[in-house]
Structure 1
Amino acid sequence: MLPPGLRYFLAVAQTGSIREACEQLHVAQSAVSRQILKLEQRLGAQLFIRGPRGMALSSAGEILLSHAREAALQEQRLDADMASLRGLKRGHVVLRTIEGFAVSSLPEVYTGFMQRYPGITMDISIAGSETILPAVRDGLCHLGIAFNQLPDPDVAVLASAPQPLEVLCSPDHPLTTSPGAKLSDLLNWPLALPMPNGGSRRLIDAACHAAGLTLRPSLETNSATLVGAFVATRGGVALFSGQRASAQVRSGQLVVVPLLLPRFRQGHIALLARRGRRLPPAVESFAATLSAALMRRR
Structure 2
Amino acid sequence: MKIIRTCAEMAALCRDVQRPLGLVPTMGALHDGHLSLTRRARADSATMAVSIFVNPTQFGAGEDFNSYPRSFERDLDLLAEQGTDLVFAPPPEEVYPDGFDTWIEPGSVTEGQEGEARPGHFKGVATVVAKLFSIVRADRAYFGQKDGQQVAVIRRMAQDLNLGVEVVTMPTIREADGLALSSRNAYLTTDQRQAAPVIYRALCAAQELWRGGEQDAGRLRAAAMAVLQAEPMLELVDYVSVVDADSMAPVERADTSGGRRVMVAVAAKLGQPRLIDNIILGDG
Shared fold, TM over 0.5: no
More relative contact order, 1 or 2 (CA 8 Å, 6+ apart): 1
Q: TM-score normalized by structure 2? A: 0.29
Which has the larger helix fraction? 1
Q: TM-score normalized by structure 1? A: 0.28
Quick check: which has more Rg, 1 or 2? 1
